[in-house]
Amino acid sequence: PAIRQARDALTLALDKAPAYRRFFERLREAFPADHARAAQVAAAAQDFNIDAAVSDSVRALRQARGVLAARATAEPLSRVFDLQLAALKALEGRDARACVDFLYGGASEGLMTFSAANRGVVADLALAGLEAIVDGGNAKIDRSPPGEEDFAALEKALAAKGLEKTEIEALLDGRTPEPPLDDARMCKSGQIYLETLRELPEEIRLRIYALAVELMARS
C-alpha cells in the first residue's frame, strides 16, 4: 500500500505536468531506485512541487552517476550542451539573473518560476542528462582530459567572438568574477561559449564536454 500510495502521488502530479512524464518513465526504466525515491518524496510531501522534484532528481542523479556521462558517445554527450544552450536562450530576456544562476548550476526562485512555465525545455534537458549517463555506462569511452592546447584554441575562438578576458575567465573557471559582470551580458556570454564549443573540432569539443560533465557531477 505504501508503494502504491507513492506511485499515485507522483502520477497525480504528472497528470498536471505531463511534459515531465517521459523523464520519470525513463528514470524508472534505467534507475528504479531513483524513481522510487522521487515517488516516496511525492507521497510524503504535504505541498508537493513537481518542478522542484525534477530539479532534485536531476541533481541526485548527477551527483551519484553524472561522471558516467563523460564516457558517453558523441551524440548524447553533445545533446546535453545543445539543450543547455536552448535553456539559456529561453531564459534570455525573461530573467537575466535566473539565466546566470542556470549557467553556474545554482538553484533560485527565478529558475523554479521559469521551470514551471517552460516544462518542455526543462524536461528535454533532464532527459538528455539521463540518456548521456545511461549511454556512458554502456559505451565506457575513455577520453583523455583536455590539454593546454585545447583550452588555448577555445580561448582564441571566444576572443574572436568578442568576449573579454574577464568573461572568458569566468566561463572557464566556473566562478562569478568580482565585481560580478552584468547579468544580461553574462547570460549572453554563456550562449556564445556554448555556440563556440559546437564549432570546435569534434575531438577537442568532446574532451571539453567530458571534463565539464565531470565537474558538474562533483559540484
b/e code 191-213 from CB counts within 10 Å (16+ = b): bbbbebbeebeeebbbbbbbbbb
The reported pLDDT for the residue numbered 7 is 60
Using one digit for the tens of pLDDT, what is the confidence trace for 12-24?
899 999 999 999 9
Helix then strand then coil, in percent of the chain rounded to 5, is: 80, 0, 20
Using one digit for the tens of pLDDT, what is the confidence trace for 162-207?
999 999 999 988 776 778 789 999 999 999 999 999 999 999 999 9
- Assign 118 to helix, strand or coil: coil
Q: Which helix H or strand E contains 92, and what residues bound it?
A: none
φ, ψ of residue 13 to 5 degrees: the values are: -65, -40
Using one digit for the tens of pLDDT, what is the confidence trace for 107-124?
889 999 999 999 999 999
Using one digit for the tens of pLDDT, what is the confidence trace for 71-99?
999 999 999 999 999 999 999 988 999 99
**CA-based radius of gyration for the chain:** 18
Mean pLDDT over all residues of the chain? 92
